[in-house]
Structure 1
């Protein structure tokens, strides 16, 4: 019933089936200790509730049965990915801006490259089939997401235009990736349990592509609109932090 995170999220494990997928929770120390440590850090800071929502999204993606389901269905994998990225974006709000902030352009480029690499079929299969690669890929993806969201959401005034462009560029290229998955003529990824859920592997992949194309793009667009309204509203206080050159 309770599995280790690594074995839970690999394709070598038995697929999550409709009758028992909701039992596949991960309460192993490898999952719980980092999540509990992060929760303690957030509670100690006593900041806005949005970072706690971000923590809840990470916990849902990594400790709930969704992780097992994500190794079974491409569509569930896409839901898990969006929860992880959204969770990191909300967690960034608990970290105050500093004088030396990352530039939005390089952060968006690295994060985007890792997103595309993650969905390259040979690497996707390797990551979900090998524990060490899975941990490394997850760490790189979460690290790049933190870098990206920190560079964009906390951008100092001189870089705010670039930050909005970085968000829109990310929306565009992830939408392109979603469209490619949606309109591919054959399955690109293994879907060991798709038929048990009444889906053909290609239909599962198309659903995953639609989720990234529509919901993923909508998330980036809403973030861009919210930042633009906040930053360029009359009377908005300008942050004192200035970028280091």
Structure 2
């Protein structure tokens, strides 16, 4: 319990005011542009996707007056998601993650439970389709109609939950985690699959809520399941008696001058507590939406 209290205090400090101090305790100068991530596999998709989204969003605003009321909200949500992606993938967490498992865990947390749901809330699909040339839009609409049945199966919450949960556990297995730290292309695949499966999961929950009266209630249950299994993984990492990853066990640039085992315990707590809080808040929002939809249905029946 003494160690949990100590590490919990570190979590709060890290997430609030201590990140600059953490940077100062590493051997790398992260304020230098040389320590930023300029990998084209990272910034190029983000840049192209952003320009594509903003173009489609502007075209929608000019074409549909009904969208103007929500235009600023959607753009703001998308912009916040881009900022989160910047901190997670470009600066500073991508470089910090090479010397600290805790920083690596924050990086995954930002991708899975913050950036991904924010992007889904920004409703990018309509804007991205709108930005296509008109002939491509017609072809896409035809393909979209033909794949309706397959899409319905692939967007079932139980399907997306299973895949997303499996990817989280697989990439935190020591062997694959070590390989991702030593091979840049595998590291890119790790982030792509974690972020992509998170987008898939949150998309399926949002779709389920819109398609049925109890969809939001079902979504709340699947979010609860996600909270439980990520909490279990975080607890296993926190209470491990020895470092699980050789790369961090031999690192001499750990944040806060922690030992490798303390850095690992901090990473486990980050997955266990802050990630759990994010899922809990999302589950509460889904439950409230479910109650509201049930209330609206009762009013329609009454009147």
TM-score by length of 2: 0.67
Residue 228 of structure 1 deviates from its aligned partner by 1.4
Secondary structure class of the residue paired with 1:22: coil
What's 2:134 paired with?
Answer: none
What's 2:93 paired with?
Answer: 66
Deviations 1:80-108 (A, max 9, x none): 00111110111012336997551111101
Residue 57 of structure 1 deviates from its aligned partner by 0.8
TM-score by length of 1: 0.82
Specify whether residues 67 and 195 from structure 1 end up closer, same or farther in structure 2 by C-alpha distance, changes over 3 A only: closer
What's 2:191 paired with?
Answer: 138
Q: Which runs of 5+ in 1 are unaligned?
A: 1-15, 239-245
1:21 aligned to 2:30? yes
Secondary structure class of the residue paired with 1:17: coil
Find 2:50's aligned residue among 7, 23, 39.
39
Find 1:123's aligned residue among 173, 176, 194.
176
Two-structure CA RMSD over aligned residues (Å): 2.4
Matches within 5 A, 1:232-243: 232-233=291-292
Once the two structures are overlaid, the 10-residue window that deviates more, 177-186 or 133-142, is: 133-142
Once the two structures are overlaid, the 10-residue window that deviates more, 68-77 or 17-26, is: 17-26
Find 1:210's aligned residue among 252, 257, 269.
269
For residues 172 and 22 of structure 1, the distance between their equivalents in structure 2, rounded to whole angstroms, comes to: 37
Find 1:184's aligned residue among 229, 240, 250.
240
Specify whether residues 236 and 69 from structure 1 end up closer, same or farther in structure 2 by C-alpha distance, changes over 3 A only: farther
Specify whether residues 237 and 67 from structure 1 end up closer, same or farther in structure 2 by C-alpha distance, changes over 3 A only: farther
Deviations 1:131-168 (A, max 9, x none): 22222222211211111010113322253332211100
For residues 91 and 81 of structure 1, the distance between their equivalents in structure 2, rounded to whole angstroms, comes to: 16
Number of residue pairs the alignment of both structures matches: 223
Secondary structure class of the residue paired with 2:37: coil
For residues 221 and 212 of structure 1, the distance between their equivalents in structure 2, rounded to whole angstroms, comes to: 13
Specify whether residues 132 and 30 from structure 1 end up closer, same or farther in structure 2 by C-alpha distance, changes over 3 A only: closer
Contact 2:216 2:289 in 1 (8 A): no
Contact 2:165 2:226 in 1 (8 A): yes
More helix per residue: 1 or 2? 2
